[in-house]
Chain A
């Protein structure tokens, strides 16, 4: 009669059966990991720009205030990208021949805007409003990270829904006094929670979990 299966098939088959158990879990775990990883949410990945603008230099070094360029951040939903005009206020005086700044000068002359690459953005169906966050004592740094340490700007935080909710559910952990909003490298006090709760009261901050807060 024909020889039956060789002995090693026992081990083999058992391994396979075990694999059937484990593989779905493993695959799911890997998928989740990827989904939460910077590869997807692009955290800390510097993006190339037509002009290698350095926040490190301008903010960290020269100590410019965020609002010097992003003028509308306190009043509108959108923290505007500064017009070329703003760049030229200084760079018509200093570095005015630097080849690095050629695109800026060209744009200023030709009136054709420079096309920057977006770094921080949320999907089109998310309605984020800068003014309300800034006015309620959420620091720029809280969402954008230490911009003053970014030679080339990168996304400082994952900017995904779970991350947003984290703060919307516990604002007291992140809120800071209004006057400190634009400070980089702000050190939260030891009593952040007590201070936070007090500020939440004072600024009338609510825990907004309603979908309509961001999606319309």
Chain B
């Protein structure tokens, strides 16, 4: 298998560089912009795009049917009034956290290896948040009235109820979407300029000309650019934490046993990073393979992400443990019953599945051999995502289906439409991503170039060949 071969021949010590030697400013620029400008439509890309569009069609149909018939087409009931929709929402939001995290926190921590993965991680964030945003709207009984959650001057002289965590959600998610968008776009401007200058096709020139807003790499530009980029990062960091904390409060503020727990915010945030990085792995591994970016997305990146996955998995495991411990220690009859039911009740299979996926499987990453095994990382990333999704479902469904009044207990059975909405949103995510990698430079050229510069001042002098090659 090529991947293993690669890791063997490169040897495991010292740790992989974040940028393989032999890359010049020009070659970096060439390679990245080529994906957007020169690369022909490959059947693989075409197939992937069409497939995901098929799922988008499914999603569209589900939405139309949902609006026409009502929320009842899903499996929700009383007591389980929230089903897959909210689980999906939390899951997607969680995934949406890795991007900003990588670009913001790692930037502040001055982690060089973030550079080559942050662009598409951020794109991933945007698309994930878009998917997430879909569900709270769709799961409303009257989706067309969603704007009542927004304070606007209405003839009823009414306001939203700001004590409700859902309102907090509304503010958090919309803010998060906006900020991530700005952050992502700002990072994109110089690269768009680069592509603009490479583009032969006038249409592409026009497009990237517009996107790049006339960026010309002036020193002053760079100054303001960096200062604002850093400050945005500094803002995004607490934001990203707050967003999932607030999402977790949708549950923690409720009195439902299994929801009402103070451990939720940290443990949700950790879970978010967990699933988020898993998703980055899921995307990065095929990308670097198909677009031959092994030089820029090196084993070092994958390994580091593996470490983060392992760490967050431990935090999440601690969260599970805390929940159980507190349920027992508090002596709260309802909490304790809930814990028992979680482990041995109607939905116990889901509980054990999520433990397997989120706690047991990631432990393999202690071993460097596994951690650097690209194939295993890929598989594991999928396992983790399944696990985290299951966790959300368990929190939402299992907690609700047996709360305080035994008389009201009732099972929740997802319908085909629940699954359609989930897979549809996956399709939407994939579709957006496919378009993104074709249309926009998926790796921040200028940052990698800077990286190269910091490593060896005069790459051009050392590889005149490459330099010549890069000269138009």
Q: Is there a contact between chains A and B in the complex with CB atoms less than 8 Å apart?
A: yes
Binding site for B on A (CB under 8 A): 2, 4-5, 9-10, 13, 28, 32, 35-36, 41, 158, 160-163, 165
Given contacts A2-B202, A2-B205, contact A35 B213 (CB under 8 A): no
* A161 lies within 8 A of B156 (CB): yes
* Complex contacts, B154 vs chain A, CB 8 Å: 35, 162
Contact in complex: B157, A162 (CB < 8 Å): yes
Q: Are A161 and B214 in contact (CB under 8 A)?
A: no
| CB 8 Å contact bits of B142-159 with A (1 = contact, 0 = none) | 000000000011111110
Is B205's CB under 8 angstroms from A32's CB? no
Q: Find B214's partner among A13, A36, A41, A163 (CB 8 Å cutoff).
A: A13
Residues of A with C-beta under 8 A to B213? 13
| Interface secondary structure of B, over-half rule | loop
Measured between C-beta atoms, what is the minimum distance from A155 to chain B in Å? 14
Provide 12 A-B residue pairs closer than 8 Å at the C-beta atoms, listed in order of the A residue.
Answer: A2-B202, A5-B214, A13-B210, A13-B213, A13-B214, A28-B152, A35-B154, A158-B155, A162-B154, A162-B155, A163-B155, A165-B157
In the bound complex, residues from chain B placing their C-beta under 8 Å from that of A4 are 209
Q: A2-B202, A13-B213, A13-B214 are in contact. Are A162 and B152 (CB under 8 A)?
A: no
Contact with A along B380-400 (1 / 0, CB 8 A): 000000000000000000000
Query: Chain A residues near B214 (CB, 8 Å)?
Result: 5, 9-10, 13
Q: Which residues of A contact B157 (CB under 8 A)?
A: 161-162, 165
- Given A35-B154, A163-B155: 13 more A-B contacts, CB < 8 Å: A2-B202, A9-B214, A13-B214, A32-B152, A35-B155, A36-B155, A41-B155, A158-B155, A160-B156, A161-B155, A161-B158, A162-B154, A165-B157
Interface residues of B in 124-156 (CB under 8 A from A): 152-156
CA distance A165 to B202 in the complex (A): 60
CB distance from A215 to the nearest CB of B (A): 11
**Contact mask B206-238 → A, CB, 8 Å, 1/0?**
000110011000000000000000000000000
Count of chain B residues with a beta carbon within 8 Å of a chain A beta carbon: 13
In whole Å, how far is B233's beta carbon from the nearest beta carbon of chain A? 23
Residue of B nearest to A17 (CB): B213
B156 surroundings in chain A (CB, below 8 A): 160-162
Tell me which of B152, B155, B158, B209 contacts A5 (CB under 8 A). Answer: B209
**A210 CA / B156 CA spacing, docked (Å):** 13
Across-interface contacts of B152 in A (CB, < 8 A): 28, 32
Question: Are A160 and B155 in contact (CB-based, < 8 A)?
Answer: yes
Residues of B within 8 A of A9 (CB): 214
Bound-complex Cα distance A13 to B212 (A): 11
Residues of B within 8 A of A162 (CB): 154-157
- Give the A-binding residues of B (Cβ under 8 A): 152-158, 202, 205, 209-210, 213-214
5 tightest CB-CB pairs across the interface, nearest first?
Answer: A162-B157, A161-B156, A160-B155, A162-B155, A165-B157
Instruction: Tell me which residues across on chain A come within 8 A of B155, comparing CB atoms.
Output: 35-36, 41, 158, 160-163
User: Please, how many angstroms separate the alpha-carbon atoms of A165 and B214 in the complex?
Assistant: 53
Most A Cβ at <10 Å: residue of B157, B205, B209, B214: B157
Given contacts A5-B214, A13-B213, A13-B214, contact A32 B153 (CB under 8 A): yes
Q: How far is the CA of A13 from the CA of B213 in the complex (A)?
A: 8
Q: Which residues of B contact A28 (CB under 8 A)?
A: 152
Among the interface residues A5, A10, A28, A163, which one has the most CB atoms of the partner chain B within 10 A? A5
Q: Across the interface, which residues of A come within 8 angstroms of B209, CB to CB? A: 4-5
User: Smallest CB-CB separation from A28: which chain B residue?
Assistant: B152
Q: What residues of chain A lie closer than 8 Å to B210, measured between beta carbons?
A: 13
Query: Distance (Å) between the CB of B43 and the closest chain A CB?
Result: 32
Across-interface contacts of B205 in A (CB, < 8 A) = 2
Closest to B156 in A: A161
Instruction: Write the nearest CB–CB distance from A194 to chain B, whole angstroms.
Output: 27
A2 — which chain B residues lie within 8 A by C-beta?
A: 202, 205
Given the complex of chains A and B, what is the CA–CA distance between A36 and B157 in angstroms?
A: 12
Kindly provide the distance from the CB of B178 to the nearest chain A CB, expressed in whole angstroms: 12
In the docked arrangement, what's the CA distance between A10 and B209, Å? 12
On chain B, the residues within 8 Å of A13 by CB distance are 210, 213-214
Q: How far apart are B157's CB and chain A's nearest CB, in angstroms?
A: 4
A60 smallest CB distance to B (angstroms) = 31
Q: How far is the CA of A4 from the CA of B213 in the complex (A)?
A: 12
Question: Chain B residue with minimal CB distance to A29?
Answer: B153
CB distance from B186 to the nearest CB of A (A): 14
Closest CB of chain B to A34's CB: distance in Å? 11
Contacts of B153 in A (CB 8 A): 32
Chain B positions within 8 Å of A41 at CB level: 155
The residue on B at minimum CB distance from A4 is B209
- B155 nearest in chain A by CB position: A160
Most buried by A among B152, B153, B214: B153
Q: Report B269 CB to chain A, min CB distance, Å.
A: 31
| A165 CB to nearest chain B CB (Å) | 5
Name the B residues within 8 Å of A32 (CB-CB).
152-153
A137–B202 Cα distance when bound, in Å, is 75
Residue of A nearest to B199 (CB): A2
A158 to B205, CA, bound (A): 55
Closest to A209 in B: B157
> Chain B contacts of A165 at CB under 8 A?
157
- Chain B residues contacting A35 (CB-CB under 8 Å) are 154-155
Note all chain A residues with C-beta closer than 8 A to B202: 2
